């Protein structure tokens, strides 16, 4: 962020966040994939308790990740079915925000502790390149059931049952920061991450700005600690935050003007709060230049 002084007056400029990282579950979609699996096999309550404890920071993600998948013991077909449910429960304005960010030449990424197959297909559906999506890979027991009768790959894939997950940064509470760093590499430009949970909050150390999202689930410790927090059920305010209010003129008379305008309207109604007063003043100073009559 820049402070430029002209004639003794400090002019506050809101930066352009070139790299925008999204969590998936409860950020781009209103559901938690693992909870959907649990409901399918009648283990909803047990798994939801573990999910909430991890997202709220009461338990480390690595302590509950395997327990949840073992409790569900889903087939590959059941895991793939999450793709359909994700698409049926898209967070308001998610596709429009991603499209607008890309039109404004931002790089968009998805980093999720969800399962790779459904997360990747959902991300591609939203317009995010597969190379910029990271999630958790799982292995399947290919000898489950009537394996000798399978003829096609799809039949085999559908019948195979979950065996284990591949441990890595995305199955650990503090691991998302490493994935952010890996994706950024040596690229220049500011970075922003938005998410609802504890692992997202901790990954904020790897970006220039962490934004908490409470549009699906508002987690008190994320609200208290996130430098910026979006309260609306829509992601439209994020577009204004990531691109900067001044980018509104760049989307005028384009298909992206409407979602940008919605974001501004929501912000004026209190959709974004800040825990950092200096950050808040900079943003609202930049916004005032756009909305002044």
Q: What is the CATH number of the domain that holds 134?
A: 3.40.50.1000
Inter-residue contact 166 to 157 (CB < 8 Å): no
Is residue 90 exposed (0-12), middle (13-18) or buried (19+ Cβ within 10 Å)?
middle
User: Who has greater pLDDT, 14 or 6?
Assistant: 14
Examine residue 20 and state whether it is found in any structural domain, yes or no.
yes
User: What is the residue range of 191's domain?
Assistant: 2-31+90-138+168-291
Residues 31-59 have a mean pLDDT of 78
Mean pLDDT estimate for the chain: 86
Q: Tell whether the model's pLDDT for residue 93 goes beyond 90.
A: yes
Examine residue 201 and state whether it is found in any structural domain, yes or no.
yes
Examine residue 249 and state whether it is found in any structural domain, yes or no.
yes
**Overall number of domains in the chain:** 1
pLDDT, residue 142, reads: 54
d(Cα 187, Cα 181) in Å, to the nearest integer? Answer: 10
pLDDT, residue 11, reads: 47
Examine residue 172 and state whether it is found in any structural domain, yes or no.
yes
Examine residue 147 and state whether it is found in any structural domain, yes or no.
no
d(Cα 293, Cα 111) in Å, to the nearest integer? Answer: 40
Q: Tell whether the model's pLDDT for residue 129 goes beyond 80.
A: yes
Q: Tell whether the model's pLDDT for residue 185 goes beyond 50.
A: yes
Examine residue 148 and state whether it is found in any structural domain, yes or no.
no
User: Where residue 3 falls among pLDDT bands split at 50, 70, 90?
Assistant: very low
pLDDT, residue 9, reads: 41
Examine residue 265 and state whether it is found in any structural domain, yes or no.
yes
Dump pLDDT digits (tens) for 192-227: 999 999 899 999 999 999 999 999 999 999 999 999
Examine residue 133 and state whether it is found in any structural domain, yes or no.
yes
């Amino acid at each position: 962020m820049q402070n430029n002084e002209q004639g003794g007056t400090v002019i506050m400029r809101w930066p352009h966040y070139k790299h925008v990282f999204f969590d998936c579950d409860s950020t781009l979609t209103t559901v938690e994939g693992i909870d959907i699996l649990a409901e399918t096999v009648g283990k909803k309550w047990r798994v939801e308790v573990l999910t909430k404890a991890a997202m709220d920071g009461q338990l480390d993600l690595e302590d509950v990740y395997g327990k949840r998948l073992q409790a569900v013991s889903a087939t590959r077909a059941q895991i793939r079915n999450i793709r359909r449910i994700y698409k049926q429960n898209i967070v308001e304005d998610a596709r429009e925000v991603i499209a607008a960010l890309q039109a404004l030449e931002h790089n968009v990424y998805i980093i999720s502790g969800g399962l790779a197959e459904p997360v990747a297909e959902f991300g591609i559906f939203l317009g995010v390149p597969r190379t910029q999506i990271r999630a958790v890979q799982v292995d399947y027991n290919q000898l489950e059931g009537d394996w000798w009768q399978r003829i096609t790959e799809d039949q085999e894939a559908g019948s195979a049952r979950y065996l284990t997950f591949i441990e890595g940064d995305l199955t650990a509470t503090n691991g998302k920061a490493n994935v952010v760093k890996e994706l950024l590499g040596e690229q220049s430009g500011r970075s922003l991450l938005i998410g609802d949970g504890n692992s997202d909050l901790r990954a904020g150390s790897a970006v220039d700005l962490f934004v908490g999202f409470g549009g699906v689930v508002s987690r008190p410790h994320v609200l208290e600690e996130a430098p910026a927090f979006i309260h609306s059920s829509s992601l439209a305010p994020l577009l204004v935050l990531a691109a900067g209010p001044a980018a509104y003129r760049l989307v005028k008379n384009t298909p992206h003007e409407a979602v940008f305008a919605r974001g501004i309207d929501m912000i004026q109604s209190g959709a974004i709060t800040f825990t950092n007063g200096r950050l808040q003043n900079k943003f609202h100073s930049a916004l005032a230049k756009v909305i002044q009559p």
